[in-house]
Amino acid sequence: MRAEIGKAVVGQDAAVTGVVVALLCGGHVLLEGVPGVAKTLLIRTLSTALSLETKRIQFTPDLMPGDVTGSLVYDARTAEFSFQPGPVFTNLLLADEINRTPPKTQASLLEAMEERQVTVDGEPRALPVPFLVAATQNPVEYEGTYPLPEAQLDRFLLKLILPLPDRDQEFQVLSRHAAGFDPRDLTAAGVRPVAGPEHIAAAREQIAALTVSPEVLAYIVDLCRATRQSPSLSIGVSPRGATALLAASRAWAWLAGRDYVTPDDVKALALPTLRHRVALRAEAEMEGVTADSVIQAVLAQTPAPR
């Protein structure tokens, strides 16, 4: 699958792995990066390689909740209201620039992300399986944005940072475009389905059977409790964050071909799983402290089991 995605996306291996981990856990991802680092292309290519349906919503200040979830539409022929599904009824939902829409519309995704269903006119409607929200946000523009509240940030399993490519990778991108690559035509680029929903379902069953020792569970608890005592943070990691770190670590161990979880699996997923679940104190932010640096310090100071 990596090779298939590599036909369209150069680099961003960490983001590819992160989205796969989220799919295996049944979680959601927040993608952060400046415009033009292939966030949209990554999700479209992943959906093609995994034979999944994908839809995209451009979040704007005038977007309404019904534009996301769907709404009841009056049919003049039958004189009845019928439900018209919104774009949330898909496998991979790309919520582009989610922080550009007001909290009322952001909240319309909460039920879908947590309960895997949408309630319209009092009637719950189940979403397809698998279902993943990949939300993007721009880290540099703050004018006209509505920062995601902690409750919604906590619904994302991982926050993945998509960096700018290095010189060699950027040269490779331009070489592909010079040779005729069209990011809007993935079929012409040779991207083909290499797995499907049945493989994801089978993987989830195997991951659920992975062994996690009490020592590793205690290590996850100690890491999360240490963030709550950090002088640089006003909000530490919640118990939901601890369960997210456990789930992500199990998926990582399975991808590595093991049937048990090690402390190194926990360390590997700690940053993307926890960085968006903590809040810095104002004075720490002024001193240049970042969420990543605090979590790295916690990892360094918390003894891992052998």
Residue 92 in tokens: 């991979």
Q: Which of 110-114, 168-172, 282-286 has the lowest mean pLDDT?
A: 110-114
* Last residue of one domain, picked from the residues 179, 202, 230: 179
Q: Are residues 38 and 148 in the same domain?
A: yes
Residue 191, in any domain of the structure: no
Q: Cα–Cα distance between 103 and 70 in angstroms, integer?
A: 18
| pLDDT at residue 149 is higher than 80 | no
Residue 251, in any domain of the structure: yes
Contact 232, 241 (CB under 8 A): no
Residue 78, in any domain of the structure: yes
Q: What is the pLDDT of residues 203-262, one digit of tens each?
A: 999 999 999 999 999 999 999 999 999 999 888 899 999 999 999 999 999 999 999 999
Residue 174 in tokens: 């331009």
Residue 287, in any domain of the structure: yes
* Last residue of one domain, picked from the residues 179, 196, 221: 179
| pLDDT at residue 305 is higher than 90 | no
Q: Cα–Cα distance between 89 and 38 in angstroms, integer?
A: 23
Q: Cα–Cα distance between 284 and 302 in angstroms, integer?
A: 21
Q: Residue 224 belongs to a domain with what CATH number?
A: 1.10.8.80
Instruction: Report the number of distinct structural domains present in the chain.
Output: 2
Q: Are residues 174 and 215 in the same domain?
A: no
Q: What is the pLDDT of residues 250-295, one digit of tens each?
A: 999 999 999 999 999 999 999 999 999 998 898 988 888 888 999 9
Q: Are residues 174 and 223 in the same domain?
A: no
Q: Are residues 54 and 152 in the same domain?
A: yes
Query: What pTM was computed for the model?
Result: 0.87
Q: Are residues 283 and 135 in the same domain?
A: no
Q: Cα–Cα distance between 76 and 245 in angstroms, integer?
A: 51
Domain membership of residue 11 as a residue range: 1-179
Average pLDDT over residues 34-42: 83
Q: Specify the DSSP element, H or E, that contains 241.
A: helix 239-255
Q: Are residues 141 and 225 in the same domain?
A: no
* Last residue of one domain, picked from the residues 179, 201, 220: 179
Q: Are residues 160 and 103 in the same domain?
A: yes
Q: Residue 146 belongs to a domain with what CATH number?
A: 3.40.50.300
Q: Give me the chain's average pLDDT, please.
A: 87
